[in-house]
Amino acid sequence: MTRPGAADAAETARGSGGPELFTWEFATDPYPAYAWLRENSPVHRTTLPSGVEAWLVTRYADARQALADQRLSKNPAHHDEPAHAKGKTGIPGERKAELMTHLLNIDPPDHTRLRRLVAKVFTPRRVAEFAPRVQELTDRLIDRFAHQGSADLIHDFAFPLPIYAICDLLGVPREDQDDFRDWAGMMIRHGGGPRGGVARSVKKMRGYLAELIHRKRLDPGDDLISGLIRASDHGEHLTENEAAAMAFILLFAGFETTVNLIGNGVYALLTHPEQRERLQRALAQGDTGLLETGVEELLRFDGPVELATWRFATEEMALGGQRIAAGDPVLVVLAAADRDPERFEHPDTLDLSRRDNQHLGYGHGIHYCLGAPLARLEGRTALATLLRRLPDLRLAADPADLRWRGGLIMRGLRTLPVEFTSAQDATRTDGRSAL
């Protein structure tokens, strides 16, 4: 059955030469297509590569409204899904692994209860106290390739940094963290591709988290999982499935967004040399103000999350001039909203000193990303340290040859090959011994 408004939206796209979405060319640079949608079909009905039909919301004002609209539920139970779409929303494998009861899949009052529990242990103070560890991890990873004169900044740096950081925060023992790195790598490599590998990784992670939660109950520490257990043991209601799901989503959401923030951010700086030089000059003078505004601008300009996670209409509603039927999936396109000229002056220009920058990169409303302070800390530390330690960092590939992962929600590079003066060569140039 055709949904109310769906036929009109589809006809609009067909009849006016609208852009082709979700191709490899689109993944490389989706912004021209999003500009067309904002202008011509701002709430746009489309068929996703998975076969699921959904509405794409591309204008800033509509996006901000949708992110906070309680008629748009996060609970997949509200999806009026046809048989061919069953199980194709959300994270592959999370249903079978009983990991659905996390903050991205629930509404108030359960969302309020679980978010309050997590907020008790995932505090700004804890993140601030974690800054020295983030700096230590950053320097250690750069040490591994600084002598080589080249690296793949995704594989060698942007990917492992947030994995090890969030594992430390969760309380995953150091000897187990490489397993998490492997499982997380499978999730990234197969984003938008075969779902079997992702589901297997999710299942392995679920089994490990159940075991770890059991161990933490017997021997708690000063970590997030132990904190969640203590909260649930003092009058709050947190089931074992909820604890595992919360740990899973903190890990899943806490690493890939930061991988892409660092990767996309470095790429943007390397392809906008005047902005990169401004930032290096400011950092050399001890001024971190441009770093603060710069990270926000990088989140707006080419952020790590292209589309907000799934929402489902609980009743028929109007959005951006379209009628959305109850049960319809709605995807807010953060990347399009954050380049809306109605909200941002010169939106396609990278300006690290941009002040009026209320971007939607980490969402809006009650589902605003709980891990945003940690991601910002990691992003600032990574960028500042790279520019300080590798001052002549440069791309080692033609931008046209770089490939972007084809997933639906996240936006990030598969690889980011770079070159720079190696540590040994820099030491010799300074007239000091290389030993």
Q: Count Cβ atoms below 10 Å from residue 141 Cβ, excluding itself.
A: 21
Q: Which amino acid, 12?
A: T
Q: Count Cβ atoms below 10 Å from residue 136 Cβ, excluding itself.
A: 12
At 31-88, the pLDDT tens digits run 999 999 999 999 999 999 888 999 999 999 999 999 999 999 998 887 766 654 555 5
What distances in angstroms separate CA 243 from CA 76, 91, 175, 419, one per listed residue? Answer: 19, 17, 22, 43
DSSP alpha helix (H) spans, 313-360: 334-337
Q: What is residue 95's predicted lDDT score, i.e. its pLDDT?
A: 57
β-strand pairing of 317-319 with 322-324: antiparallel
Q: What is residue 255's predicted lDDT score, i.e. its pLDDT?
A: 83
DSSP alpha helix (H) spans, 222-324: 224-232, 240-270, 273-284, 289-302
Structure confidence at residue 129 as a pLDDT band (50, 70, 90): very high
Q: What is residue 202's predicted lDDT score, i.e. its pLDDT?
A: 80
* Cβ(30)–Cβ(306) below 8 Å: yes
- Degrees to nearest 5, angle at CA 341 with 340 and 344: 85
Structure confidence at residue 98 as a pLDDT band (50, 70, 90): low
The domain locations on the chain are 91-307+344-429
Q: Which residue has the higher pLDDT, 332 or 250?
A: 332
**Cis peptide preceding 109, ω within 30 of 0:** yes
pLDDT above 50: residue 13: no
Domain 91-307+344-429 = CATH 3.40.50.620:
no
Structure confidence at residue 96 as a pLDDT band (50, 70, 90): low
pTM above 0.85, yes or no: yes
